Amino acid sequence: MKHIIHYGRQEITKEDIESVSSVLKSDYITTGPVTKTFEKNFAEYIGSKYAVAVSNGTAALHLSAMALGVSKGDKVITSPLTFAASANCVLYCGGEISFVDIDPKSLGIDLNRVEDVLKKDSDNNIKGIIPVDFAGYPVNTEDIRSLADKYGLWILEDACHAPGASFTDSKGKQQQSGNGEFSDLSIFSFHPVKHITTGEGGMITGNNAEKINRIRRLRTHGITKDPDLLIQKDEGGWYYEMQELGYNYRITDFQCALGISQLKRADKSLKRRQEIANYYLDAFSDYDLIRMTNVPENINHAWHLFVIQIPKRRDLYNYLQEHGIYTQVHYIPVHLQPYYKNLGWNKGDFPIAEKYYEHCLSLPMYPSLKEEEQEYVIKKVKAFYG
């Protein structure tokens, strides 16, 4: 069988398997003590006070949007260059999306354009912003906070691509993506291509106990058993209350056992991603045709994706695939999806994101990518351009 190199993939070690199987042999397999430990360890890693684990990143976005109060008539700003879930979560709550074009350098949302949109929002319909740490490039949440405070917005950071990323703030302090220093809530995904996987899974991080408690309740049907939070009289040991309409977005303890084990090598894996990125950056530095992300000094990039922007993208994609290299495109701008077009968005609305989409390609990037595999990818890209 032909050896295939994918753009991203999970790494499962013997320790990971042992960690999962020990939970499978225990009494408790759904959300229980291991989930609590994973939440605690993840919060420590990210630098937030609290973390709540859920069934996937989309559920994390949905519950966060609910906890931030998104409701009918509300508008929320996000980038068109993201996975659809960053925008969909607002629609789940009856709100509307206000897309704002990207900054061509960081590929994150352009804050100058955000402010232009806010200035025009005379009815104050815009309630929040969902910035995305695209490809692992951390958004500067300190700058977003200044803007959010000026216009009375909340911030929900979609940090799915960026566990371990950080930027240096105006006081010279390292601010890790998702630590909640400047954002109200942040979310992560543990899909297999992400830095840490639980098969499917997600996490909400933040520093506000009230919002986090609400998310915990919403994760399991809006039900609580916490004696301190009951509305009616406690009727006995069995008693629980459904206090609002929630969902079943629980994660299992055996998934969290995988998360705990993966988290132990998060630093090592991040270093390996940075090593791979530096190798690509160096290898293609002489190629004017190949545009790559320039990482400024104050940015510690988490390299979920290694994106190049090139001419003849479709031909290169096919050529690499013929040679066993399965690249990917991140992303088709969300506003160009048929569903969003039906809501009124059109081609031409966000020219920078659209132009980027015409030329982008994500090359293989994952910690277990072997040196010779990366060499082969580089050789083939160079061979294509001659």
Ligand X SMILES: Cc1ncc(COP(=O)(O)O)c(C=O)c1O
Nearer to ligand X among residue 168 and residue 328 (C-beta): 328
Contact between 56 and ligand X by CB under 6 A: the answer reads: yes
Nearest distance from C-beta of residue 6 to ligand X, angstroms: 15
Q: Tell me if 95 sits within 8 A of 76, measured CB to CB.
A: yes
Q: Are 70 and 93 in contact (CB under 8 A)?
A: yes
Give SS3 for 145. helix
**What's the min distance (Å) between Cβ of 192 and ligand X?**
10
User: Is residue 10 at the binding interface for ligand X, with CB under 6 A as the rule?
Assistant: no
Closest approach of ligand X to the CB of residue 65, in Å: 12
Mark the segment that binds ligand X (CB under 6 A) among 78-86, 107-115, 335-343, 365-373: 78-86
Instruction: Give yes or no for residue 251 binding ligand X (CB under 6 A).
Output: no
CA distance 133 to 153: 18
Compare residues 141 and 224 and give the one whose CB is closer to ligand X.
141
Give me the 256-275 binding string for ligand X, x by CB under 6 A, dash otherwise: --------------------
Q: Which of 58, 64, 79, 220 binds ligand X (CB under 6 A)?
A: 58
Q: Is 76 in the site for ligand X (CB under 6 A)?
A: no
Q: What does the angle CA 78 – CA 57 – CA 308 come to, to the nearest 5 degrees? A: 60
Q: How far is the CB of 61 from ligand X (least distance, A)?
A: 6
How many CB atoms are located within 10 Å of the residue 207 CB? Answer: 17
CB neighbour list of residue 180: distance below 8 Å, 6 or more residues apart: 48, 49, 186, 205, 206, 207, 208
CB of 200 to ligand X, least distance (A): 6
Q: By CB under 6 A, which span of 46-54, 158-166, 175-183, 215-223 interacts with ligand X?
A: 158-166
**CB proximity list for 334: less than 8 A, separation 6 or greater:** 80, 81, 82, 83, 84, 86, 87, 99, 340
Q: Which residues contact 326 (CB under 8 A, 6 or more apart)?
A: 4, 5, 6, 7, 320
Applying CB under 6 A, the span of 155-163, 166-174, 238-246, 294-302 interacting with ligand X comes to 155-163
Name which position in 10, 82, 166, 186 contacts ligand X (CB under 6 A).
Answer: 82
Q: Which residue in the set 97, 129, 132, 353 belongs to the binding site for ligand X (CB under 6 A)?
A: 132
Give the pair of three-digit tokens for residue 176: 């890790």
Query: Per-residue x/- mask for ligand X, residues 164 to 203, rule CB under 6 A?
Result: -------------------------x-x----------x-
* Closer residue to ligand X (CB): 360 or 381: 360
Dihedral sign from CA coordinates of 137, 138, 140, 144: positive
Give the footprint of ligand X on residues 274-293 (CB under 6 A).
Answer: none
Q: Which has the closest alpha carbon to 257: 21, 6, 67?
A: 21
CB of 131 to ligand X, least distance (A): 11
| Cis-peptide, bond into residue 331, ω within 30° of zero | yes
Query: What is the DSSP secondary-structure string of 362-377?
Result: EEP--TT--HHHHHHH
Q: Which is nearer to ligand X, 8 or 180 (CB)?
A: 8
Collapsed DSSP state (helix, strand, coil) of residue 102: strand
| Candidate residues 76, 102, 144, 160; the one interacting with ligand X per rule CB under 6 A | 160
Q: Is 158 in the site for ligand X (CB under 6 A)?
A: yes
Torsion angles phi and psi, residue 82, rounded to 5 = -165, 175
What is the C-alpha to C-alpha distance for residues 21 and 355, in angstroms, rounded to an integer?
A: 47
Neighbour tally for 67: CB within 10 Å:
25
119, two tokens: 């200035």
Give the residue nearest to ligand X (CB). 57
Would you say 160 or 263 has its CB closer to ligand X?
Answer: 160
Q: How many residues bind ligand X (CB under 6 A)?
A: 14
Using CB under 6 A, pick the residue from 52, 77, 85, 353 that binds ligand X: 85
For ligand X, the binding residues (CB under 6 A) are 56-58, 82-83, 85-86, 132, 158, 160-161, 189, 191, 202
